[in-house]
């Protein structure tokens, strides 16, 4: 009868122990995985139940407006318009590409606009605009709609007057008059008697001044009948003729 050496038996027993340990570890690992899967399944079941209850509760508001066949119709419509949806997606992709390409230009233009606005603010454009708005408010508060209507009716005459006043010779004459007025010291103006005034009239500059005033008044009087000629003619036309 053959006998197995004692060392070989011990080694085989140790090998079996190691294998049993591995099997036990695998069993423990499998048991842990199964337990985690069961816990996950329970959690998902609870979450699904809560979600289903929430969806049912939320859909109760739209239940009177939705029928079961509506979903089928929606699905059919989506299938029929697949090409349309595809074209729409292509357009959206093109628009996105355009925005991506235009974004640097937009940012550059916006930065330039901010710089220009900052420059205008530093130069006082906005402050001037606020003051002009305040001036317009004062005009609106001081004048009525009837005044504005009359202004519009006489705007051509006003512009003609301004045009005549802005001629170089008129500006020079006005400037000369202002300079003369500014240089007069009213506190030291000499008093003139009637005789002394007659003597002053004999001076050439006084005669030229009187000539200017007479010519001005003559021309002014010549213009007034032209403006009043229409009412005068109407009055004469409406007046009764004397009976001979």
> 176-190, pLDDT tens digit by residue?
888 888 887 777 777
- What is the pLDDT, as a whole number, of residue 100? 87
At residue 227, does pLDDT exceed 60? no
Let me know: does 164 contact 170? Beta carbons within 8 Å: yes
pLDDT at 232 over 50: no
Sign of CA dihedral 153, 154, 157, 159: negative
For the stretch 55-104, pLDDT in tens is 888 877 777 777 777 778 888 888 889 999 999 999 999 999 998 888 88
Question: With bands split at pLDDT 50, 70 and 90, how would you rate the model's confidence at 224?
Answer: low
Q: Return the closest-CA partner of residue 198 out of 181, 210, 186, 180.
A: 210
Measured CA distances, 153 to 146, 214, 221, 223 (Å): 11, 33, 25, 21
Residue whose pair of structure tokens reads 């390409």 in the numeric block? 101
pLDDT attached to residue 5: 53
Instruction: Give the Å distances, CA to CA, from 107 to 101, 102, 113.
Output: 11, 9, 10
Cα separation, 230 vs 2, whole angstroms: 159
What confidence tier does 244 reach under pLDDT thresholds 50, 70, 90? very low
The whole-number pLDDT of residue 191 equals 77
Contact call for residues 120 and 112 (beta carbons, < 8 A): no
CA R_g for the chain: 53
pLDDT at 243: 39
**DSSP codes joined into one string, the chain:** -----HHHHHHHHHHHHHHHHHHHHHHHHHHHHHHHHHHHHHHHHHHHHHHHHHHHHHHTTTGGG--HHHHHHHHHHHHHTHHHHHHHHHHHHHHHHHHHHHHHHHHHHHHHHHHHHHHHHHHTHHHHHHHHHHHHHHHHHHS-HHHHHHHHHTHHHHHHHHHHHTSHHHHHHHHHHHHHHHH--GGGPPP--HHHHHHHHTSHHHHHHHHHHHHHHHHHHHHHHHHHHHHHHHHHHHSPPPP-
The pLDDT-based confidence of 6 (bands split at 50, 70, 90) is low
- Angle of CA points 129, 130, 131, to nearest 5°: 90
**Cα 102 off chain centre by:** 21
Q: What percent of the chain is predicted at pLDDT more than 90?
A: 11
Interhelix angle 204-238/194-201, rounded to 10 degrees, is 90
């Amino acid at each position: 009868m053959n006998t197995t050496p004692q060392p070989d038996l011990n080694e085989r027993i140790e090998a079996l122990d190691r294998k049993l340990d591995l099997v036990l570890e695998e069993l423990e690992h499998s048991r842990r995985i199964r337990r985690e899967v069961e816990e996950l399944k329970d959690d998902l079941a609870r979450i699904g139940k809560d979600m289903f209850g929430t969806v049912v509760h939320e859909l109760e508001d739209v239940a009177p407006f939705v029928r079961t066949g509506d979903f089928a119709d929606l699905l059919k419509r989506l299938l029929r318009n697949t090409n349309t949806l595809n074209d729409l997606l292509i357009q959206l992709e093109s628009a996105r590409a355009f925005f991506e390409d235009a974004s640097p230009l937009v940012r550059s233009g916006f930065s330039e606009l901010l710089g220009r606005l900052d420059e205008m603010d530093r130069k006082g454009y906005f402050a001037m605009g606020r003051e002009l708005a305040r001036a317009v408010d004062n005009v609106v508060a001081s004048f009525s709609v009837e005044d504005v209507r009359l202004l519009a009716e006489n705007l051509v005459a006003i512009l003609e007057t301004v045009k005549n006043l802005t001629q170089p010779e008129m500006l020079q004459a006005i400037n000369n008059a202002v300079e003369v007025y500014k240089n007069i010291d009213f506190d030291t103006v000499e008093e003139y008697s009637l005789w002394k005034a007659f003597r002053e009239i004999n001076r050439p500059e006084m005669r030229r001044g009187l000539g200017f005033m007479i010519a001005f008044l003559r021309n002014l009087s010549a213009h007034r009948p032209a403006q009043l000629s229409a009412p005068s003619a109407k009055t004469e036309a409406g007046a009764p003729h004397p009976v001979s």
